[in-house]
Chain A
Amino acid sequence: MPQDRENYILFKLGGTSYAIKSNDVQQMEMVEHITPVPNAPSFVEGLVFLRGEVIPAINLRVRFGFEKIEYDIKTRIIVVQRGNRKVGLIVDNAREFVVIPNDVITPPPEAISELSGQYLEGVATLGDRLVLILKIDEVLNLTDRIKPENIEGGT
């Protein structure tokens, strides 16, 4: 595969399209059974059991500060992997597998880099669609860094 372009999985959250590298995704599933975890931060929905592994599931809407909505037939759990760490991201919808050339990706604007910029790798334009490309490391780190005390203070 040439390096001037990469495979992405597109997903939607609150009407916005996000992209995440296909290589970081281990698998995708429908939401079936989530076992709640006591004393967990509010964005942690609980634990899911997938392919013999127990994986924490994070509601990305809550994590990004959006309103929480009911799960439906289109709700997906995207299992991402960095090294040995695996996390399930619960998103509104995910149904596309796209190839995005590197040259259509631009860095995030300066004005938003302070807050949202740390999660974003860049912004890609696909035809007339605008797609935010997530920094998966930051998303995972954030999950690690935040402690219950901080979350309460942060929210």
Chain B
Amino acid sequence: MAVKKEKQKVREKKNLDDNAIRSRNVSSSRIKEYALEIERSGNELSKINSRLKEGKELEVRKLDDVIKGVNEFTTVVKEMENQLESIAASAEEHTSSINEMAASIEQVTASMVSLTTSINETAASMTEISASIKNVAENAQEMATSTAQVTTSINEIASSIKHVSGEADSFVTSINETASTIDEMARSIQSVAANADDLSSAADETSSSINEMAASIEEVSATTENLASLVEQISASIEQTARSIQSVASNAERISESASSSASASAQLDRSIRSVANLSKTADEITRRAARDAQEGGITIEKSIQALLKIMETMKQSSNVIRDMGKRSSEIGSIINTINLIAERTNLLSLNASIEAARAGEAGRGFAVVAEEIRNLAERAAKATSEIANIIKGFQEVTQEAVISTNEGLKIAEEGSSLAEDAGKSLKKILLGIEETAQLVNQISTATNEQLTAGQNLVNEVNVVSNQAKQIAISTSEQTRTVQGMVQISGQIRRIAQQVSQAMAEQAKASRDIMKAAQNTSTYAFQVSKATKEQASGANQIVQAMENMRKGTNVIAKAMAEQATAGEEVSREAVRVARLIESISKAMNEQATAVNQVNTAVENMRKQADQTTRAMSEQSRAMKDISTATENITKQIKLITGANKKQTELSLKINEFISEIRRLHETDAQVVHDFTSIVSNLVEKIKSVDIFM
């Protein structure tokens, strides 16, 4: 009965709404057409979207390549810095050896003037090194500041991720709402189908469904507009990315340039280190020669001392002999005096005899002759004696002179011997100094060899840097190509979105027509409300389903939060890096202090420098050359350091650009994600409209 009654009712309603149903049929067919078009557009959009995703993935891969390249580059630059430090340490060792050598040469030789000059030059170089170290320290501090900025940026990223996470939650909520609406609608439609017999109720349900559809279409239209604006955003992001990549490319080129200037400076460094090695060898040879000469001189002096000692001994012996002779000659003198006296007395006796003989007259004549002869003999004896006396006197004078000159000779020989001993001592000192010098020259040689190795390593590192920079340039150009492809794709998307927009506008227009038709069926609204109650009960189930979905999105949100945590960790790492840089800068300052101390020491040494020997002047000259070469090394190191600094600055810039690109990509990813959701939403809605139709 009830059924019959209802069928009756329906039939009555059918008659009443015949006109309305006809017009509705016309609208339905038009809506179906639009729906199909929208579905096509949606599918096309999905395809474009997947292509966009592919492009993004390719770009991300390229970006990873670039990041890897930049990281490797940074490592290589750091290694280069280590090499530079080892060269600098070796150069410092080298310099200290030269300074010690200066002190040693000064002990040994006269005229240190040229070496002093070279020490001054070294000191100036040290000052330059000190200034350069200060610059490096300042750069390290700037790096620290940059790192702090990076940390801040990472924190901002983390907060942005959090923010995005929140937005995702609200988005999920909106999905839930939409889904519930759609499900309700589905249920309602099903209930309408179930109650197909009840026309009145069906008409009511239809009317309400039409209203719903109209609302849905309005919503879709709004969503499509949203989509269009998102597409605009994506395009803008992609263009920004392109610009960033271009600036990365130009920076990569500049890195390439500075790496090549580093390479040429390194080659020059290598050459000047080699010249130092040659000069050290020459200095070593000269030192050996000087040592040999000094040893020969020592032997000669030893021989001279021996000869002088022999001379002294002989002279002492002769002096003794001469003194003995003097004594003997004075003895002879006294004997001569005695002889003289005897001669005088003989003369006197002969005279007295003559007087007596004269008195005796003829009898004394013979006696007188004898007396005369005796007197003559005595006279001859006296004459001979006086001659002997004269000779002895002369002999005594000569002896005296001999004694004096022997004493003088002895004194001179003693002086000569002591002078020779002094010379021997001086030679020993010289020999010691030369040995020290030889040791120092060896040290310099060792340091130079270390420098050679380090310099070669540096050349290799610089070449590696050059290669890395080229790779970065290649990756960047590939990126540029990818982004250009993306720009094209985004243009296509833009066109499609416009088409969708247009279609939606037409749909809206059609739905308004439907609405008019539906107004005629408004009288069945109360039945619709009944159906709505059923829908409400169905909605509960959907809400449950949506709860599950929400849980899923919560997982996503959690993942986002983890991302944020990761971002914080990155930030902490950056802080640690900043601390390390600070310690580096501290070490640099200590280095500068050490260099200043070395400078003071060099100044002291310079003051001590005074005299040098003729043989040593060659060495001094060689030292000067070494010093000049060392100065060249310092200059080269400075050049390399400058290039390094530039490279570091540029790679920092590249890092900034890359992080910017990252940010843009994250935004892009979010936008694409939104876009995907909207498109799928749209597709589902369209499907529901189909079912409804």
Q: Which residues of A contact B (CB under 8 A)?
A: 1, 7, 9, 22-23, 25-30, 73-74, 76, 94-97
Task: Determine the interface band of chain B, counting residues with CB < 8 A from chain A.
Answer: 10 to 19
Q: Mark B349-368, 1 if CB is under 8 A from A, else 0.
A: 01110110011011000000
**CB of B344 within 8 A of chain A?**
yes
Q: Mark B371-390, 1 if CB is under 8 A from A, else 0.
A: 11001000100000000000
**CB of B131 within 8 A of chain A?**
no
Contact of A7 with B340 in the complex, beta carbons under 8 Å:
no
Taking A7-B354, A9-B355, A28-B355 as known contacts, 8 extra A-B pairs with beta carbons closer than 8 A to each other, sorted by chain A number, are A1-B361, A7-B358, A9-B351, A27-B352, A28-B352, A29-B348, A73-B344, A95-B351
Complex Cα gap A131–B354 (Å): 20
Complex Cα gap A145–B58 (Å): 172
Complex Cα gap A30–B359 (Å): 22
Given the known inter-chain contacts A7-B358, A73-B340, please indicate yes or no for A97 contacting B351, CB distance below 8 A: yes
Complex Cα gap A73–B344 (Å): 7
Given the known inter-chain contacts A23-B358, A25-B355, please indicate yes or no for A76 contacting B348, CB distance below 8 A: yes
Complex Cα gap A96–B350 (Å): 10
**CB of B347 within 8 A of chain A?**
yes
- A to B CB contacts below 8 Å, 10 in the list: A1-B362, A22-B354, A23-B358, A25-B355, A28-B348, A73-B340, A96-B351, A97-B351, A97-B355, A97-B375
A96 contact set on B, CB distance < 8 A: 351
Q: How far is the CB of A28 from chain B (nearest CB, A)?
A: 6
B354 contact set on A, CB distance < 8 A: 7, 22, 97
Q: Which residue of B lies closest to A99 (CB)?
A: B358
B348 contact set on A, CB distance < 8 A: 28-30, 76
- Contact among A23, A29, A73, A94 with B359 in the assembled complex (CB-CB below 8 Å): A23
Q: Which residue of A lies closest to B359 (CB)?
A: A23
Contact of B344 with A30 in the complex, beta carbons under 8 Å:
yes
Q: Which residue of B lies closest to A10 (CB)?
A: B351
B358 contact set on A, CB distance < 8 A: 1, 7, 22-23, 97
A26 contact set on B, CB distance < 8 A: 355
Q: How far is the CB of A31 from chain B (nearest CB, A)?
A: 11
Residue of B340, B351, B362, B375 with highest tally of chain A CB at under 10 A: B351
Complex Cα gap A23–B359 (Å): 7
**CB of B345 within 8 A of chain A?**
yes
Contact of B379 with A22 in the complex, beta carbons under 8 Å:
no
**CB of B341 within 8 A of chain A?**
yes
Contact of B341 with A27 in the complex, beta carbons under 8 Å:
no
- Contact among A1, A27, A95 with B379 in the assembled complex (CB-CB below 8 Å): A95
Complex Cα gap A28–B361 (Å): 19
Complex Cα gap A97–B362 (Å): 17
Complex Cα gap A94–B341 (Å): 14
Complex Cα gap A30–B361 (Å): 26
A97 contact set on B, CB distance < 8 A: 350-351, 354-355, 358, 371-372, 375
Q: How far is the CB of B360 from chain A (nearest CB, A)?
A: 11
Contact of B351 with A28 in the complex, beta carbons under 8 Å:
yes
B362 contact set on A, CB distance < 8 A: 1
Q: Which residue of B lies closest to A95 (CB)?
A: B347
A23 contact set on B, CB distance < 8 A: 358-359
Complex Cα gap A49–B344 (Å): 20
Contact of B359 with A74 in the complex, beta carbons under 8 Å:
no
Complex Cα gap A147–B341 (Å): 38
A94 contact set on B, CB distance < 8 A: 351
Q: How far is the CB of B321 from chain A (nearest CB, A)?
A: 33
Q: How far is the CB of B329 from chain A (nearest CB, A)?
A: 20
Q: How far is the CB of B210 from chain A (nearest CB, A)?
A: 185
A7 contact set on B, CB distance < 8 A: 354, 358
Residue of B344, B355, B359, B371 with highest tally of chain A CB at under 10 A: B355
Q: Mark B260-276, 1 if CB is under 8 A from A, else 0.
A: 00000000000000000
Complex Cα gap A9–B408 (Å): 55
B340 contact set on A, CB distance < 8 A: 73
Contact of A27 with B361 in the complex, beta carbons under 8 Å:
no
Which 4 residue pairs across A and B have the least CB separation, nearest first?
A97-B354, A7-B358, A22-B358, A95-B347
B350 contact set on A, CB distance < 8 A: 97
Complex Cα gap A25–B357 (Å): 12
Q: Which residue of B lies closest to A76 (CB)?
A: B348
A22 contact set on B, CB distance < 8 A: 354-355, 358
Complex Cα gap A31–B374 (Å): 22
- Contact among A1, A27, A30, A95 with B355 in the assembled complex (CB-CB below 8 Å): A27
Complex Cα gap A73–B350 (Å): 16
A29 contact set on B, CB distance < 8 A: 348
B379 contact set on A, CB distance < 8 A: 95
Q: How far is the CB of B105 from chain A (nearest CB, A)?
A: 77
Complex Cα gap A9–B352 (Å): 10
Q: Which residue of B lies closest to A72 (CB)?
A: B344
Complex Cα gap A30–B348 (Å): 8
Contact of A74 with B344 in the complex, beta carbons under 8 Å:
yes
Complex Cα gap A1–B358 (Å): 9
Mark out the residues of chain B between 334 and 349 whose CB falls within 8 Å of any chain A CB in the assembled complex.
340-341, 344-345, 347-348
Q: Which residue of B lies closest to A27 (CB)?
A: B352
Q: How far is the CB of A115 from chain B (nearest CB, A)?
A: 30
B372 contact set on A, CB distance < 8 A: 97
Q: How far is the CB of B57 from chain A (nearest CB, A)?
A: 147
B355 contact set on A, CB distance < 8 A: 9, 22, 25-28, 97
Q: Mark B318-340, 1 if CB is under 8 A from A, else 0.
A: 00000000000000000000001
Complex Cα gap A1–B371 (Å): 18
Complex Cα gap A9–B358 (Å): 11
Complex Cα gap A58–B567 (Å): 151
Q: Which residue of B lies closest to A6 (CB)?
A: B358
Complex Cα gap A74–B351 (Å): 13
Mark out the residues of chain B between 160 and 178 whose CB falls within 8 Å of any chain A CB in the assembled complex.
none
Complex Cα gap A7–B375 (Å): 16
Complex Cα gap A25–B358 (Å): 11
Complex Cα gap A23–B356 (Å): 9
Q: How far is the CB of A139 from chain B (nearest CB, A)?
A: 18
